[in-house]
Structure 1
Amino acid sequence: MSQEYHCRIYVTLRPSVLDPAGVAVQSGLHQLGYEGVEKVRIGKYIELTMMAHDKTHAETQLDEMCDRLLANPVIENYCYEITALETTGSPK
């Protein structure tokens, strides 16, 4: 029997990769008077729900999704959170 999982995926550039969008945002924040901002990195946030046999299977599937489509493993890192959703029985 499958379980439904809610997944939150965070994709960021590797620290060694220049982040021009982050530099632009940092510059804009400085122009707005936020001089204390020292480093800005821009990333992606993705949410999805999926069905899997168990949490290990969900993690395996999610790793494959990230490696194949959601993140570029050459220049990006990713991490995720997986939460099992409550299953509701049929109405009584």
Structure 2
Amino acid sequence: MADEYFMLVCDDVPHDVVLTDPGVRVMDVVQVVRRLTGLSLWRSKVLTTQSPTVILAGVPQEDAVAAVSALRDVGAQAGAREQPEPGFLKH
């Protein structure tokens, strides 16, 4: 019997939140990253300074849009993108 893979049809495709540039208010961005991720202050700062980086992975679209908005409000450049389709689903 051949292996078959099925993708469940969902209302919401998972999104990633990507921080591309923290801007000049780095510590404000670090605080937002800390609030969004639940990471320690030190880890949030490391994550922020390693941009471009994925801040949140696999979140619903509404959460991704809210996170991007919070990051942009403090001067960062960020965006949300749909997670790519798994390789085994591509034809």
Normalising to structure 2: TM-score of the pair? 0.35
Larger % of helix: which?
Answer: 2
Bigger radius of gyration among the two: 1
Which structure shows the bigger proportion of residues in strand conformation? 1
Normalised TM-score (structure 1): 0.35
